[in-house]
Amino acid sequence: MLNSNDGIILIDKNEGETSFDVVRKVKRALKRKKVGHAGTLDPFATGLLVILLGQGTKLSNCLMSGRKRYLATMKLGIETDTLDRTGRIINTMTVPDLRPEEIRELFNGFLGEIEQRPPLYSAINYKGKRAYEFARKGITVDLEKRMVNIHSMDIISVNLPDITFEVTCSRGTYIRSLAADIGARLGSTAHLCALRRLASGDFDVNNALDSRVMDTDPEGETISGRIISLKDALTEMKECAIDSTAAKKISNGIKPGIDELISWEASLGDYSGFIKLTHGSSLVAILEVNNLLRDSKEWLKNIRVFT
């Protein structure tokens, strides 16, 4: 049964904390065991961390799939093994005398779908282990490049060797790698010296609770009042309201039929994607559908029930 502690909380992580540190604080404050997060932030980074509570952990993939927006500062002329300021300096180069117009033009060249290689110091799985486990032992592994999407980039300031910019990107984008690639394109080298996550999907850091509040709120009174329900957490997902009979049937493990779905929400048409089924203020289930296959038994690709 859903309860008031199922949902998500928006936390503004401070520098020096790990994402797990924040999870541990929430566990302690709310006295809950089942707590996770949707998208790690490195310890040196700050900003929005979406914390998942109880059955909110089932929303992880949905919440992580949205666009991310960051404020980043990169420093030209210095390369580190981690591609950020916490790493060991492994290379230095001169910084070209670049005009702001040249820098902006080059930044625009990274817009759209680009190929990117993840950092060696990352949590990417490689032969059953995290890539950073090899990197810490001095072992270089060949991580495969992946396609990511840079939706927008705006330069905030240029004070060489530092460049501060705001970037909106797809899931899986490494801003550390982006900074290194930009540095190389500018004829130098670079590392990330500051990073702040401003938004994830529809959620903004301006609406988040400072993680330090939990240090002075041991009973969790403040954080309890900031829980966003499962239904309201999926702001970008198409909604289909169902009656109590349908809700009970689905909760008991009976999958809905395509005719039922269309009768509940006629506007679905040939919609393909995720749909949240709701009853009143409760989230009953998330469906992944392909209505283009309406005449096939495969129209329902996946269902996740919340009980």
Query: pLDDT band for position 233 (50/70/90)?
Result: very high
pLDDT of the residue at 147: 94
pLDDT of the residue at 129: 72
CA angle 163, 189, 87 (to 5 degrees): 90
Domains and CATH numbers, the chain: 7-66+202-229 (3.30.2350.10), 71-195 (3.30.2350.10), 237-305 (2.30.130)
Strands in 300-305's sheet, in edge-to-edge order, are 238-241, 272-279, 282-290, 300-305
For 5, the token pair is 């502690």
What residues are annotated to the active site? 42
Kind of pairing, strands 46-53 and 190-200?
Answer: parallel
Task: Work out the average pLDDT over 10-14.
Answer: 97
Residue 67's SS3 state is: coil
pLDDT beyond 80 at 121? no
Alpha carbons 36 and 184: distance in angstroms, whole number: 36
The structure's pTM equals 0.90
CA nearest to 220, candidates 53, 29, 4: 29
For residues 283 and 296, the answer to whether their CB atoms sit within 8 Å is no
Type of residue at 235? T
Task: Work out the average pLDDT over 179-197.
Answer: 97
For 167, the token pair is 């970037």
Residues 41-61 have pLDDT tens digits of 999 999 999 999 999 999 998
pLDDT of the residue at 91: 95
Worst-scoring range by mean pLDDT, 127-136, 188-197, 251-260? 127-136
